[in-house]
Structure 1
């Protein structure tokens, strides 16, 4: 059943992380122009990720015996908030730290935990998530990529698409069908760890409207995988993915995708001295919505800290956060156009163009708006 979100604060011991992570984030981002910092999610820098790992800012919620920080979700919230607010490059460790390591911890074998989690905590491994497929749209349960049992393990055939950073990745955790057909829906789905350098794996980057290539399509042709590539129990992939997505949908990353643009626009307003009532009201509206979304995200984090899986609440945060992130560039563009006499510097213009071009993807990644609203409706007992 859907539970109401209860407002929560960040514990003092986790807030205490803020000065150190802010300094590290600024060291990587402060000198970069706003349009580069706006690419924080897709900014790929292995060296910076290793620096984060060495400083103890990766794997914060994971056990110390695997190289983690043995802390709670609030600590990770503070770190993520600072990284994205600064516009630091996070792509090299993002998925491994947020999803892959917790998944392996919760469902993987002890051998998998010992093999993969320590280097993830050091920022040394790049993971990607193989969920979407051509022709499936948002219907994740209809995946057709298939793994058949062999004498030594599994043979994988099929295709994934819209896979973030697969061209840079070391491993993919892929949702595949190990029994039945696509008509069986959730039954027969499993998750496998795929070495992206294995024979038979071909990765092709996809260039987006902004000219960047952080998505890719990945093809599997008779890829032989060992028996221990299976994560968790065969046929339990759907349940595992559902739990995994709660980590993806409720964090501050669903609020801050456009925040560098917001900061750049406010700096522009200060530079030109515009402080009329309408402009201040618009700034106030953005600020109030951002504060509300942040509070909701912290409330979801509090549920995670209690060991709960706030699937419905996380979907609500993601849906509302995406709407805010997408409305921001449109509103800022309209505002700047309403004052044609104001000089707009090239950096702000580039930043606005990038966020405007990439904003449509915000309601695709991590679950489309339609899928999320279906989850919310079920959680509220409306369908």
Structure 2
């Protein structure tokens, strides 16, 4: 049986940076209510993202030649976890900084890097992910959106689903089929798609709380130029698997419900019951452990390793904890969840309950992740 480890991340002097980020957030979020902070990495605020870009907190690890700042992955990790713990609205730049930019940096053309990366680092260029499709469930290799080669580029037809903030993004990284359906993984590629391209329609999908951040994106014979091809034709599967390692391991995989935990501690006050102490202590231990695992993955990425298995484990365990928090809160505090409640705890609880089912879907379903882990351990 194979065993995979979580090595200790290399030491980094990051406390000065952490203090700087906390001071910035204390000023910027001073009037932001907990019910708004609960949205955090699903909270879209283009002006806030531009401020982060001005401070050099987007594209932190990228080369300066592309607008980056050549800082360490652990310095970037500090900024991310402080943003999420404080409930900062980071959705505008999040996908581009987390995975789209690193993908272009790794396999993009020089023209793509020079054109796109400095704008991402400035907090002025936003991305969405074109992976999921109707009727394909969690089987990403069943992608049916097709890019047919034509003179000068591709004609794209198909539909992408659950595309977060496509209606506010400038670009999509499109995972599509460029070979035969029978080729499965080997017949796929990725394209850099300008969402203003004729032939692309973006339709809203409301979530359980009535909010609009999901979308259906329909391609109807849209022309995408040759220059949009990312990496090599037919290598889309390998590229997208590497991209998912960035998506699955970050602190957003265990801090989505963190504002609810903060509000629980605030509501319990200085003299909580033994049951409440036990519940908060248990959740705290879980989060500390997940943070250690997640920081380890950040260190592995910094060292140029491929922590796909470790990232899958962090994502699976993190989703379990995130989904557990609202149920634990309801077990130790008498509160009726309501988005319109006068108390912040009740409003944050309602928001978290409505969004928690998605925690084990985004970035790969629980069943898919456990299959990846099992294969990595030699169990199947």
Residue range with higher mean Cα deviation, 58-67 or 24-33: 24-33
Q: 1:150-197: CA deviations, max 9, x gaps? A: 11111111000001100101000010001111x322011000011111
Residues 275 and 332 of structure 2 are in contact (CA less than 8 Å); yes or no, is this contact kept in structure 1? no
Q: Give distance in 2, aligned partners of 1:4 and 1:257.
A: 25
Q: Give distance in 1, aligned partners of 2:216 and 2:94.
A: 19
Alignment of 1:248-267 (within 5 A): 248-267=247-266
Aligned residue number for residue 39 of structure 2? 39
1:4 aligns with 2:11: no
Q: 1:314-348: CA deviations, max 9, x gaps? A: 10011000000000011102222399xxxx95211
Q: Give distance in 1, aligned partners of 2:370 and 2:271.
A: 39
Q: 1:180 to 1:125 in 2, by over 3 A?
A: same
TM-score, length of structure 1 as denominator length: 0.95
Alignment of 1:241-252 (within 5 A): 241-252=240-251
Aligned residue number for residue 296 of structure 1? 293
Alignment of 1:5-154 (within 5 A): 5-8=6-9, 10-12=11-13, 14-154=14-154
Residues 157 and 219 of structure 2 are in contact (CA less than 8 Å); yes or no, is this contact kept in structure 1? yes
Q: CA RMSD in A?
A: 1.5
Q: Give distance in 2, aligned partners of 1:368 and 1:294.
A: 21
Q: How many residues are aligned here? A: 375
SS in 2 for 1:186: helix
Q: Give distance in 1, aligned partners of 2:27 and 2:148.
A: 47
Aligned residue number for residue 326 of structure 2? 329
Q: Give distance in 1, aligned partners of 2:30 and 2:210.
A: 23
SS in 2 for 1:214: strand
TM-score, length of structure 2 as denominator length: 0.96
Q: 1:65 to 1:136 in 2, by over 3 A?
A: same
Alignment of 1:177-326 (within 5 A): 177-181=177-181, 183-270=182-269, 273-326=270-323
1:373 aligns with 2:374: no
Q: 1:90 to 1:338 in 2, by over 3 A?
A: closer
Q: Which runs of 5+ in 1 are unaligned?
A: none
Residues 29 and 89 of structure 1 are in contact (CA less than 8 Å); yes or no, is this contact kept in structure 2? no
Q: Give distance in 2, aligned partners of 1:110 and 1:308.
A: 23
Distance apart, 1:313 and its partner CA: 0.6
SS in 1 for 2:81: helix
Residues 8 and 299 of structure 1 are in contact (CA less than 8 Å); yes or no, is this contact kept in structure 2? yes
Q: 1:4-37: CA deviations, max 9, x gaps? A: 112336511x332112222223333231111110
Q: 1:97-154: CA deviations, max 9, x gaps? A: 0011100000001111001000000000010010000001100010000001111111
Residues 73 and 305 of structure 1 are in contact (CA less than 8 Å); yes or no, is this contact kept in structure 2? yes
Q: Give distance in 2, aligned partners of 1:107 and 1:6.
A: 27
Q: Give distance in 2, aligned partners of 1:212 and 1:178.
A: 34
Residues 255 and 290 of structure 1 are in contact (CA less than 8 Å); yes or no, is this contact kept in structure 2? yes
Q: Give distance in 2, aligned partners of 1:239 and 1:2.
A: 23
Residues 28 and 89 of structure 1 are in contact (CA less than 8 Å); yes or no, is this contact kept in structure 2? no
Distance apart, 1:61 and its partner CA: 1.1
Residues 145 and 159 of structure 2 are in contact (CA less than 8 Å); yes or no, is this contact kept in structure 1? yes
SS in 2 for 1:68: coil
